[in-house]
Amino acid sequence: KAMCSGKLQTALLVAGYFVYLLVGAAVFQALERTAEKQEKMAAAQMKEAFLQNFTQLTVPEMEQFMKNLIKAIQNGVYPVGNESQFEESNWDFSNSFFFAGTVVSTIGYGTLHPKTAGGQIFCVFFALFGIPLNIVFLHHVGKMLSLLCKKLGKFLYEKGMRKKKIKFLTLLFFLATGILVFLCLPSVFFQITEGWSYSEGIYFAFITLSTIGFGDYVVGKQSDRKYFSYYRVLVAIWILFGLAWIALLFNL
């Protein structure tokens, strides 16, 4: 009964955690998408005005254009190419879910952030409750993985292996498996999808899972590459379970 109750609690926690992220993603998308469209339209008009009058611009006008351009880029608006690119939103559901995941995991790349007052206030409360929920989620997943460690240790103990050797081999097994699953293989995937070198993929994976999150490399941000639907959702899920693996290593 206790085991069934524990499994039910874990299942409810995992379901509740992902529902929390899904609801958060939907709210961020609703709050930020309209403001982003207006910002993209303003950037397109600014670019058009510049192309029509760039030969007659004074130095102060040119400097103001550069300031406006830098501000637009900092806000995730890249006024390059044709107008079809302005139809693609930084706040579609995939990007919003990815952002929600980086908030609760405290990675915070800084490349995507709410700009409306409503979005910023919601982000405060979303993080306030989401970060503790994320810690509890990682703790439970870590405990589940720890049970696998115990089962592996019990199996090796029954084979006549000494306890110190079992502890060392268990740690080595989960360390090597985690490095393969959460660092090495995803880096190949990022190399293919993002066009990064393998070392850049390893660097991004480590900086992300260690929650340093510099923001110098972020997935799905290159305007000249086509990404499949829900690419960033899959990356967000990889981050969450990668963090659980890190939590397991701390437990071990």
Q: What is the pLDDT of residue 153?
A: 85
Of the candidate ranges 47-61, 80-94, 180-194, the one whose mean pLDDT is the lowest: 80-94
Confirm or reject CATH 1.10.287.70 for domain 131-251, answering yes or no: yes
Percent of the chain with pLDDT over 70: 95
Non-local (6+) Cβ contacts of 142 within 8 A are: 244, 247, 248, 250, 251
Q: For 24-49, what is each residue's pLDDT tens digit?
A: 999 999 999 988 888 888 888 888 88
Output the pLDDT for position 230.
Answer: 87
Q: How many CA atoms lie within 13 A of 161 on its CB side?
A: 15
What confidence score (pLDDT) does residue 32 get? 93
Higher pLDDT, 222 or 193: 193
**Which pair of tokens denotes residue 106?**
């405290």
Sequential DSSP letters for 63-127: HHHHHHHHHHHHTT----S-THHHHS-TTSHHHHHHHHHHHHTT---SSS---SHHHHHHHHHHH
128-177 pLDDT tens trace: 999 999 999 988 888 888 888 888 888 888 888 888 888 888 888 888 99
Q: Tens of pLDDT along 84-95?
A: 455 678 899 999
Domain boundaries, the chain: 1-57, 131-251
The per-residue pLDDT of the chain, averaged, comes to 87
Query: How many residues are present in the chain?
Result: 252
pLDDT at 51 over 60: yes
- Using the predicted structure, report yes or no on whether residue 102 has a pLDDT greater than 60: yes
